[in-house]
Structure 1
Amino acid sequence: MFVLGLDSLPPKVLYENYGEGLDFIRQLTKESQNYLMKTCHPPITVPAWISMFTGKTPGELGIYGFRHRKPGTFDSYVVNSNDVKEKTIWDELAKFNIKTGLFGVPPTYPPKPMNGFMVTDFNTPGKEKPYTFPPWLKSEIENKIGESPIFDVVYRTEDRNKAYSDLMEMIDNHQKILNYLVKKAWDLFIYVEIGVDRAHHMFWKYFDDTHPRYEYNEKFSRAIPNVYKKIDNWFSKLIKELPKDTIYVIVSDHGTKSMKGSYPINQWLMQQGFLKIKNETKEGEDLLPDNINWNETKVWAWGGYYSRFFFNIKGREPKGILEKEEIEGLIKDLKNSILKIKGPNNEQWKNEAYTPQEIYPEIKGDAPDLTVYLDDLNWRPIGTIGYKSMYLEKNDKGPDDSMHDWYGVFSIYDPEGTIEKGNKGVIEINKIKNVLEQLILGK
């Protein structure tokens, strides 16, 4: 089985033929078993892929995003493979002596022993670090191919020309290494291409003509189709090289949609009286702990594709003021207030706010107190403050014109025709592992 993970690929691109560049893969889906893939809470690369490959929800994993807050502090840490405590599909299949090859699956850095081999993911700090299992695969790749993996690119930048050339170079680099790795012995190979996600974040407003700030550009409007085409061409050649009984899976971890704008969520908390600062700030400044009046602050937040709210609870936080018996009422107040947030023209938004207990069967690790989505993920909550308006066109951390979406894709192609073709409805991301295991074990 070969799993091609296209990070953030939305159903409208694969199943509804929106845009160009995936001709071969789209043709395969006509002969495949196809699902809409419903992603996890939150719909983020980390934890979505590891939820898919462990069969666990983010709550059960204790992984709630790319970065986590260190409890009782304003500091954060980046999630890595050491935070994954549950068995993955490659761990479980090893019991049946099934060998797995991994490339770019988040979060697999730092590399861990496995029955097979791996090259780690976009979180890898650099080529000077260990990035393979077995360890000697690193020097083997560098000697045989003559280059190290490019793990990621700078994609939130005003220099889109450089971003585009770096992106295409990264995908070329991945394909060279993969062409070498697929010749090794394996039963299951999982390749996640983060470059698709980076292309969407960089160039979505030039690609999607429904974007509120759609702009045709002779070069940048071709960027996403060119990324698709590069992957599609490579994949069409790969299929000719692999055994005829190989099952192929096309899957994404979440979808993509246009970002209508951004909304300063900490500024809103200030307006509502949940957060108090000591001194006024310049536009776009970070909320800093030294500028928070902790004696009068109940809640503060992180921004991102979703917002994480943290409560200033007595006994848990260094300067906590909330008694435990106050928390239930606070949650009710926050939810009611969040539901009332409307758009710039007073239009109704679909806002959602959840405690961990409402969305996960089990809660481990450093969960936020409340997970908040604005307007069904159309608007980005940002953490910076000091704005004159509550409705902004841009992201506060560099150019980014797309948001994540709830639905991705999951398509299974069996050239031997042993699986039923056609559309099969919706599958939740943490149910995919079980389907893959049954297919590879021939159940």
Structure 2
Amino acid sequence: MLFNHTERKRFVVLGLDGLPASLALRWAKKLPNLSRIAGKSEPINAELPELSPVNWTSFFTARKPEKHGLYGFTSIDPQTYTLSINNFAQVLCPTIFDALGENNLVCKIINLPNTYPAKPLRGMLISGFVADSLERAVQPPFLLGPLRDAGYQLEADTSRGILEPDYLFNQVAHTLDCRLHALEMLWNDLAWDLFTIVFTETDRLFHFFYPAFEDENHPLYPKAAEFMYKWDRAIGIVLDKFEALPGEKKLISFADHGFAALETEVDLNTFLAQQGYLGYTHRPKNQWDSTIISPVSKAFALDPGRIYIHTSDFARGQIDPAHVEAIAAEIADQLMQLEFNGQQVMDKVLTRREAYGENPVGNPPDLICTAKPGFDLKAKFDRAEIFGFHGRTGIHTVQDAFFYSSDGQQISTMHQTGQIILDWFNITLTD
């Protein structure tokens, strides 16, 4: 069925990666466009673990992790013990974009994390993180030429991190300009039903300079404020375009998780090694060298708080599956007693069943850990100390993720964002 511009029901998604609702309220006093959407709805919670790829996937599948199969940044090969970065290929269920396309609805998507490598769809897609090749990040392929000509940059270079603030602030300012250029390319013909654009720049800056966005006396506050005004203008462009749309329409804006200032990083593999659960066969080549896991290991961790019991599901695993629950319970009990400067580190340590139910798809962990605010869970293979600082000042949180709906609708968790879109278009997903 063909629609003219006034007959179409439209839905717009404005993603604000990593934005805490509490911080949004503070900045809304200074930012006129953020003030249009901040404080109008209650915060929502991230799915576990509180990572961007997990939660953006929950958005675009309208499913929790146990249904879409993504549990972290990385996966481990059970035969070779090598790590690989998860991407769109690891998503084990259809997307809302598939469902809309089957109903002859058109989606246009800019910078959505975990949609790389881009797959064909009814519409247009420019993938976001973890995209590293523009050629493989766009659908249809004809988008490649105009984006290359415009100097479109997929991701800010964060490699210099906290050591070169000017460089990183300049990088995110440039990628934000790229998102706005793509917005003009894809929006203006109005030949779409769902439009999604994600600004990931806040997440990149918060990881390295979060205190500068909270404290006006911080030496980097002027840089933070300069960026926030630029970011606010970008928000205003999207909101103005939405308000100018003809016909029936709805907009939601949300973050994939909250953020907080870092107290310390907490390395779970170092903890497991010190408690005698994890052994290594040789020195690691780098922090990601999981090939060093020894046959005598009872457990190991993957980012950020995933713990796997080393059973015969792994080539060198020797733990009898009958002992998994007992070992997991031991580890959970010890983790709940872990303290840093007299503060309890863990908020919860859940079993697979507690976190994901009876039949989760993919390769869920045996334990999923969530820390109290300020503690950043890691799973490296080259650290000698459980606690430490490694160049970051901000961390993800499960709670306090920003949410706004133009019609006042309220939800509680991330996967429901995708369900809102399906409901708007009267589409039902089948498992």
What TM-score results when the alignment is normalised by the length of structure 1? 0.84
- Structure 1 residues 73 and 352 mapped into 2: Cα distance closer, same or farther (>3 Å)? farther
> 1:320 aligned to 2:317?
yes
Write out aligned runs for 1:303-314 (5 A).
Answer: 304=303, 306-313=304-311
* Match among 376, 379, 392 for residue 379 of structure 1: 376
One-letter amino acid matched to 1:430:
H
Q: Aligned residue for 1:201?
A: 207
* CA gap 1:342/1:442 in 2 versus in 1, 3 angstroms: closer
Show the counterpart of 1:428: 413
CA distance in 2, matches of 1:155, 1:26: 29
Aligned to 2:172: 167
In structure 1, stretches of 5+ residues that fail to align are: 414-418
By how many angstroms is 1:118 displaced? Answer: 1.3
Report the residue type matching 1:159 in the other structure: E
- Deviation digits for residues 43-94 of structure 1 (CA, Å, limit 9, x no counterpart): 1111111112212111211111222112233212222222223222222122
In the alignment, structure 2 segments of 5+ residues that lack a partner are: 1-10
One-letter identity of the residue aligned with 2:35: R
SS in 1 for 2:112: coil
Q: State the Cα distance separating 1:29 from its structure 2 match.
A: 4.9
Amino acid of the structure 2 residue aligned with 1:335: A
Equivalent residue, structure 2, for 1:416: none
For the residues of structure 1 that align with 2:422 and 2:383, how far apart are their CA atoms? 51
Q: Return closer, same or farther for 1:333/1:227 CA change in 2, 3 Å cut-off.
A: farther
Structure 1, 218-227 or 198-207: larger mean CA deviation: 218-227
Residue of structure 1 in register with 2:64 after alignment: 57
Specify whether residues 321 and 359 from structure 1 end up closer, same or farther in structure 2 by C-alpha distance, changes over 3 A only: same
SS, match of residue 57 in structure 2: helix
Pick closer, same or farther for the CA change 1:278–1:131 going to 2, 3 Å. Answer: closer
Q: Which one-letter code corresponds to 1:197 in the other structure?
A: D
Greater Cα offset, 102-111 or 430-439: 430-439
Percent of aligned positions that are identical = 19
Cα distance in 1 for partners of 2:279, 2:372 equals 25
Instruction: Tell me the alpha carbon deviations over residues 332-379 of structure 1, each in whole angstroms, 9 at most, x when there is no partner.
Output: 1111111110122x2333432223222113311122232222335633
The change in CA–CA distance for 1:84 and 1:339 in structure 2 (over 3 A counts) is same
Q: 1:23 aligns with which of 18, 25, 32?
A: 32
Q: Distance in 2 between matches of 1:50 and 1:278?
A: 35
Give the counterpart of 2:361 among 358, 364, 368: 364
- Structure 2 residue aligned with 1:410: 403
In the alignment, which residue of structure 1 is the partner of 2:259? 256
CA distance in 2, matches of 1:286, 1:53: 31
- TM-aligned CA deviation for residue 133 of structure 1: 1.8
Match of 2:73 in 1: 66
Which of 141, 144, 155 is residue 138 of structure 1 equivalent to?
144
Task: Choose the corresponding residue for 2:220, options 191, 214, 217.
Answer: 217
Q: Over aligned residue pairs, what C-alpha RMSD do you find? A: 2.9
Q: CA deviation at 1:235?
A: 2.8
Q: Note the C-alpha offset of 1:227.
A: 4.8
What amino acid does structure 1 have at the position aligned with 2:424?
Answer: L
Tell me which residue corresponds to 2:300: 300
Tell me: CA distance 1:149–1:66, structure 2 relative to 1, closer, same or farther (3 Å).
farther
Secondary structure in 1 aligned to 2:197? strand
Aligned to 1:56, the other structure's residue is in SS state coil
- Cα 1:90–1:289 change in 2 (3 A) is closer
- 1:285–1:140: structure 2 CA closer, same or farther, 3 Å change rule? closer
Task: Map Cα deviations across residues 229-254 of structure 1 (whole Å, 9 max, x no partner).
Answer: 24234335434653364322111111
Compared CA separation, residues 140 and 268, structure 1 to 2 (3 A): closer
Aligned-pair CA distance for 1:223: 5.2
Distance 2:228 2:82 in 1: 39
| Cα deviations by residue, 1:387-431 (Å, 9 ceiling, x for unpaired) | 3x5432x13xxx221111113122111xxxxx4x4x84x512122
Aligned to 2:105: 98
- Please give the alpha-carbon distance, in whole angstroms, between the structure 2 residues aligned to 1:287 and 1:83: 19
1:354 matched residue in structure 2 = 350
